[in-house]
Chains A and B, each alone.
Chain A
Amino acid sequence: MLAVEARGVHKRYGAVRALAGVSLEVRQGEFFGLLGPNGAGKTTLICALGGLARADEGTLSVMGHDVVRDYRESRRALGIVPQEIVFDPFFTVRETLRLQSGYFGLRRNDAWIDELIERLALKDKADANMRSLSGGMKRRVMVAQALVHRPPVIVLDEPTAGVDVELRQTLWAFIRSLNAAGHTIVLTTHYLEEAQQLCTRIAMMKEGRIVALDSTARLLTDFSERVLRVKLEGSELPASLARGATQDAAGAWRIPIADVAHVEEALRELRAAGAAVASLEVAEPELEEVFVKIMRREERPAAP
């Protein structure tokens, strides 16, 4: 059984085509990344999965339950942390979690609620009103709300946007442990280093379509490479190294290198050419590069 399955999902908001035929499968236990620029349709897809939006065409299911026909089962299997920080100002943290638990029909859930409070470092604020919490604290409560019914599938829509380092670390440690315990995680984020570190598989979206879908490792080898990043002072790059090299925005050369032996060779040639080296580093393949390349590849020719 698949954790998440989308088949030919279309969604239009007036003249805007938010989703233009999205199909994807997320297997159980995966840490799956859904990346794309703003307006690519990531949030619309998540909304359709959670029943916050209705697909015009196509089907979606969570743990084998159709999100329209078997919405009760599919919603029980799904925990979504929405992108916007939202809260109910009438209640404290603990009341909020108890109520959320009750909406899922779970009455005696205090042991798990206590554990969530503990693990998301909310203990000091458990009896404080939601209104009095900082943005980061509210975000933690939202994560706890999404997990209150122990869903096998957890979707985090940009959970670390505008969040401090400490929370980011607490959050990822917790989410990783949930993933290790068998929960499927679907993550959207604009922090590509995060996605590279965490996700085993990644889908990239643009203008309502999936434009790349592969394992993170595969995407990195296909679209990025290890480079020697060299900044020269005034001198030219030796011709022998210029092939395949590109210059980045800061004016540094990016020389593709296959292995360590190649680094030594390149250094020797720089020295032989008498080049003045200002800075030098070996840069590992980066998801950011993959992302930029794929998005550029998908750029439509400008209208005449």
Chain B
Amino acid sequence: MTGFPTLLQKEVLRFWKVSFQTVAAPVLTTLLYLLVFAHALAAHVEAFPGVPYREFLIPGLAMMAMLQNAFANSSSSLIQSKITGNIVFILLPPLSPLDLFAAYLGASIVRALVVGLGVFAATAWIVPVPVSHPGWALAFALAGCGMLGALGIVAGIWAEKFDQLAAFQNFLVMPLTFLAGVFYSTQSLPPFWRAVSKLNPFFYAIDGFRYGFFGQSDVDPATSLAFATAAFAVLSWITLAMLRRGYKLRH
């Protein structure tokens, strides 16, 4: 029996014990985005034909919150353990690089899914959103959150101080999520920015996730899933390589 299930359990407990901050807060932030943007833009934008803007907004906002929380969970857990020093309790047992990777990733995905469900639960009574292809929605949720969970492990291992992690979050994760077509369809962008958006792996996660709800998207969902999965696979490979080498963990 390996230590993986226990480490996963510990990582889930870690955010669950402070779920007011780790789940309720992002759900509230997302609701505020929804109220403000839906009010300000509903009259001007129709992103998808036949889909009211308020409805269009919800899956994208939910996915944005999920991506950010997947990243926040693994990265903040690792940096806290590194800075307080209690990471030794994880490094001394016979946990393999794969055990570590799977546990941190798994907890990130769990937190992201709980946040996502929270967003839908909180908005359902204001704006019910149809779910036309739940399978696609779930596939993109897993691929997108996996991608960000892995990126969080990379950032948590790499960063030596909280401000380095904050820089990673503010200058990479935030811009990439904001510019991933949460608030608009990329079809509405000028051709250059439309092309740039397609270089952003977060875009595929959001666009494909939205397909799961409305059956409409900017890019064919199979193509999006291929891009999102590829990005997840590359980040996982990098993370595992770092863990195998003991980069910044085993000096």
Contact = CB atoms under 8 A, between A and B. Distances in A.
Contacts of B81: 88
Contact of B251 (A13, A72, A78): A13
Interface stretch (B6-14, B135-143, B166-174, B194-202): B6-14
Interface stretch (A79-87, A161-169, A187-195, A243-251): A79-87
Nearest to A18: B251
Contacts, number: 80
Given A75-B92, A84-B85, A88-B89, A102 B9 contact: yes
Interface string A80-107: 1010101111110000000111111111
Contacts of A53: 250-251
B86 A102 contact: no
A123 B90 CA distance: 25
A13 B251 CA distance: 9
Interface string B78-96: 0001001110111111111
A86 B86 contact: yes
Interface of B: 1-3, 5-7, 9-10, 13-14, 17-18, 81, 84-86, 88-96, 246, 250-251
Nearest to B14: A90
Interface stretch (A44-52, A173-181, A252-260, A278-286): A44-52
A76 interface: yes
A54 B250 contact: yes
Contacts of B251: 13, 47, 52-54
A282 to B, nearest CB: 45
Given A54-B246, A86-B85, A90-B17, A103 B96 contact: no
A149 B92 CA distance: 12
Interface in A62-84: 71-73, 75-76, 78, 80, 82, 84
Given A51-B91, A102-B3, A103-B93, A86 B84 contact: yes
A76 to B, nearest CB: 6
Contact of B250 (A51, A78, A107): A51
B88 A86 contact: yes
23 contacts: A13-B251, A51-B91, A51-B250, A52-B88, A52-B250, A52-B251, A54-B251, A72-B94, A75-B93, A75-B94, A76-B94, A82-B85, A84-B85, A86-B84, A86-B89, A90-B18, A99-B9, A99-B10, A102-B3, A102-B6, A103-B6, A103-B89, A106-B1
